[in-house]
C-alpha cells in the first residue's frame, strides 16, 4: 500500500497503534519492578544485588524482572542495565513517597479507560495486553506508578520548563528543509466525507467562509485530522491513490477542489503553499523543543537523586553482568521466512524498527542507512514510540494499519532494533553485542542482495 494512501484511511489503525504504543511505553519503561508494597510484603531470602536508601533489590527481584523481558530483548539488555533502571525507578518512587504524592483509584481507572477506548473493541484491547504478557491488575499497578512518577516530575522539573519565541524561530531557521517542499512535491490538506451528499454540504460551508483546516479538524472522517487539521504534508507523484493525486496536482495554491471519490470516501482537497510558515509550524516546533528540554531535565533530576542517594551494589553484580555480556556476543543472524518478497512500486521493502530511546539502534543506524541508500529499494525506518518513519522528511505520528499488521507478524514482541528485509529475512537485534559498523554493513548488503 502506498504511503500517502494509507494516511488517508487511519480510523482503525490510528486507534490500535496509539493504544498499543501506550502499552509498549508503559511495559518497557515502567514495567521494571512490581508495586513497591507487594515487594515489601513478600519474604525474599535471596541476596540483595542493590540497596537503595535502605530499600533492597534482591537477586530474585532482578531474575524475576529479567525473565519478563522477551528473548529478543534479553539479547539487547543485560542484567546490569536492567538493574540500573530498577535503581532509577526505586529512587523516583521513593522520592514520590517522601513528598506524600498519592494516586486515587479514580485516576487509575480514568487512565485505564483512556487506553481501552482507543481500541475498536474490548477483545482487541485484551489481545494487546496478552501479547505484552500483561493482565489488567498488572497494568493497573503500572498506571499507578506512571501517575506517581508523572506527578513527581511535573512538580519538580517539568512544570517550569518553557519554550521561547526565539528558540522556536531559531529552530525554524536552522531546519528550513523540513518546512519546504522538494522539487516535484506539493502540499495539500483534505477533508474526508463518507458520502457525496455530506461532501456537498462541506463545500457549501466552505463557500460561506469557514476556515478549511478548522472545518477539517471538526468534521473530517480521517482520524489524523484531529491533530493535523487535514494537512497531509509534502508528497510527490506516485504516493497517493490516482484519483486523489490527479486532482491535487491540478490545483493552484489556495484552490479547493470539488468532491473527489476514492475507495476511502469523498475528499475535498485544498492546495497549500509549498512552504510551511513559521506560524503554522510553531506549535509542532515548540513541542519538539519542549520534549528535548524535558528529557534533559529529567535525566539531570535522576542524576541528582542518585548523587544524593545511598546506593550499594553487591560484589556479585560484576560476574553476573559479565556472564550476560558473554552470552550476547554470539552472532545474531537473519532468519529466512517462507513468505514472498514484499514490494512497493516493484521495489523490495527494507524495514528497520527502532525507538527514540534505543541506544543500540543509534549505534547501528548509520550502517543501516549507508547500506540501503546504495540500493534501489523502498526503506521504512519506523520509530515505534513516535510512529514516525525516520527515512522520510515528513513527521508521521502513527503507522498504517497494514504496517502495524506486518509488525505484529514479524516482530510480535515489538523489539528494537529489528529488521525485516523484503518480508523474506527477519532479524531481532543487532548482529554483535558491540557495534561493528563494517561487519553490519556487510551483513545488510548480503541480505539485500538475496532479494533484489
pLDDT at 4 over 60: no
Query: Domain locations in the chain?
Result: 3-160+294-327, 181-272, 335-449
| Range 351-378 average pLDDT | 83
Integer Cα distance of 257 and 137 in angstroms: 51
Q: Which CATH class is domain 181-272?
A: alpha beta
Q: What percent of the chain has pLDDT over 90?
A: 37
pLDDT at 42 over 70: no
User: Strand 311-313's sheet: what is its strand order?
Assistant: 55-58, 48-52, 311-313
Cell of 299: 535525566
Q: What percent of the chain has pLDDT over 70?
A: 85
- The full DSSP string for 376-415 is S-EEEEEETTTTEETTSSS---S--HHHHHHHHHH-TT--
Cell of 226: 484531529
pLDDT at 209 over 90: yes
Which of the pair, 159 or 395, is modelled with greater confidence? 159
Highest mean pLDDT, choosing among 75-84, 163-172, 227-236: 163-172
pLDDT at 331 over 50: yes
Instruction: Using pLDDT thresholds of 50, 70 and 90, give the confidence band for residue 35.
Output: very low
Which of the pair, 452 or 260, is modelled with greater confidence? 260
Which of the pair, 40 or 81, is modelled with greater confidence? 81
What would the pLDDT profile of 102-129 be if each residue is shown by its tens digit?
999 999 999 888 888 878 888 888 888 8
Which of the pair, 350 or 373, is modelled with greater confidence? 350
**Which numeric CATH code is attached to 335-449?**
3.40.30.10
Integer Cα distance of 43 and 56 in angstroms: 12
User: Which of 1-10, 35-44, 304-313, 314-323 shows the lowest per-residue confidence on average (mean pLDDT)?
Assistant: 1-10
Closest to 384 in 3D by CA, of 94, 29, 126, 36: 29
Measured at the CA of 138, the angle between CA 137 and CA 141, to 5 degrees, comes to 90
pTM: 0.52
Instruction: Using pLDDT thresholds of 50, 70 and 90, give the confidence band for residue 25.
Output: very low
pLDDT at 370 over 50: yes
* Residues 6+ positions from 170 with CB-CB distance below 8 Å: none
What would the pLDDT profile of 419-446 be if each residue is shown by its tens digit?
999 999 999 888 776 767 778 888 989 9
- The full DSSP string for 231-249 is EEEEEETTSS-HHHHHHHH
Which of the pair, 362 or 167, is modelled with greater confidence? 167
Integer Cα distance of 192 and 199 in angstroms: 8
User: Which of 49-63, 291-305, 319-333, 425-439 shows the lowest per-residue confidence on average (mean pLDDT)?
Assistant: 319-333
- What was the pLDDT predicted at 82? 87
Cell of 322: 559479565
What would the pLDDT profile of 271-303 be if each residue is shown by its tens digit?
999 999 999 889 889 988 998 898 889 889 999
What would the pLDDT profile of 397-423 be if each residue is shown by its tens digit?
777 878 888 988 898 878 888 899 999
Q: Which CATH class is domain 3-160+294-327?
A: mainly alpha
Amino acid at each position: 500500500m502506498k504511503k500517502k494512501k494509507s494516511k488517508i484511511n487511519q480510523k482503525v489503525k490510528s486507534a490500535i497503534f496509539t493504544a498499543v504504543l501506550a502499552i509498549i511505553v508503559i511495559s518497557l519503561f515502567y514495567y521494571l519492578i512490581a508495586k513497591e508494597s507487594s515487594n515489601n510484603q513478600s519474604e525474599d531470602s535471596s541476596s540483595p544485588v542493590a540497596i537503595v536508601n535502605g530499600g533492597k533489590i534482591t537477586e530474585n527481584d532482578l531474575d524475576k524482572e529479567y525473565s519478563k523481558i522477551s528473548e529478543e530483548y534479553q539479547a539487547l539488555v543485560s542484567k546490569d542495565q536492567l538493574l540500573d533502571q530498577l535503581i532509577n525507578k526505586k529512587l523516583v518512587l521513593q522520592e514520590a513517597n517522601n513528598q506524600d504524592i498519592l494516586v486515587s483509584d479514580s485516576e487509575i481507572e480514568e487512565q485505564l479507560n483512556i487506553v481501552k477506548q482507543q481500541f475498536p473493541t474490548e477483545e482487541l484491547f485484551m489481545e494487546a495486553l496478552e501479547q505484552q504478557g500483561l493482565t489488567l491488575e498488572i497494568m493497573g499497578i503500572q498506571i499507578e506508578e506512571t501517575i506517581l512518577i508523572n506527578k513527581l516530575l511535573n512538580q519538580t522539573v517539568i512544570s517550569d520548563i518553557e519554550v521561547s519565541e526565539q528558540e522556536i524561530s531559531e529552530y525554524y531557521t536552522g531546519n528550513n528543509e523540513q518546512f519546504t517542499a522538494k522539487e516535484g512535491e506539493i502540499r495539500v490538506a483534505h477533508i474526508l466525507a463518507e458520502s457525496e451528499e455530506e461532501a456537498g454540504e462541506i463545500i457549501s460551508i466552505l463557500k460561506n467562509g469557514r476556515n478549511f483546516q478548522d472545518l477539517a479538524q471538526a468534521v473530517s472522517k480521517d482520524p489524523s485530522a484531529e491533530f493535523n487539521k487535514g494537512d497531509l504534508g509534502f508528497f510527490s507523484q506516485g504516493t497517493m491513490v490516482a484519483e486523489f493525486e490527479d486532482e491535487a496536482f491540478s490545483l493552484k495554491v489556495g484552490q479547493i477542489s470539488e468532491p473527489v471519490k476514492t475507495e476511502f470516501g469523498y475528499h475535498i482537497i485544498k492546495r497549500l503553499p509549498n512552504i510551511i510558515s513559521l506560524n503554522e509550524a510553531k506549535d509542532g516546533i515548540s513541542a519538539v523543543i519542549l520534549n528535548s528540554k524535558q528529557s534533559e531535565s529529567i535525566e539531570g533530576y535522576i542524576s541528582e537523586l542518585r548523587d544524593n542517594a545511598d546506593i550499594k551494589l553487591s560484589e556479585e553484580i560484576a560476574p553476573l553482568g559479565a556472564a550476560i555480556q558473554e552470552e550476547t556476543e554470539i552472532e545474531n543472524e537473519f532468519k529466512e521466512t517462507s513468505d514472498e518478497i514484499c514490494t512497493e512500486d516493484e521495489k523490495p521493502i527494507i524495514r528497520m524498527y527502532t525507538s527514540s530511546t534505543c541506544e543500540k539502534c543509534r549505534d547501528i543506524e548509520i550502517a543501516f542507512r549507508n547500506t540501503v541508500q546504495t540500493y534501489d529499494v523502498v526503506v521504512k525506518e519506523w520509530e515505534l514510540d513516535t510512529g514516525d518513519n525516520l527515512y522520510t522528511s515528513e513527521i508521521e505520528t502513527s503507522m498504517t494499519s497494514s504496517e502495524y499488521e506486518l509488525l505484529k507478524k514479524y516482530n510480535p514482541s515489538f523489539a528494537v532494533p529489528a529488521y525485516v528485509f523484503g518480508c523474506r529475512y527477519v532479524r531481532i537485534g543487532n548482529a554483535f553485542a558491540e557495534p561493528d559498523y563494517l561487519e553490519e554493513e556487510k551483513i545488510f548488503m548480503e541480505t539485500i542482495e538475496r532479494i533484489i
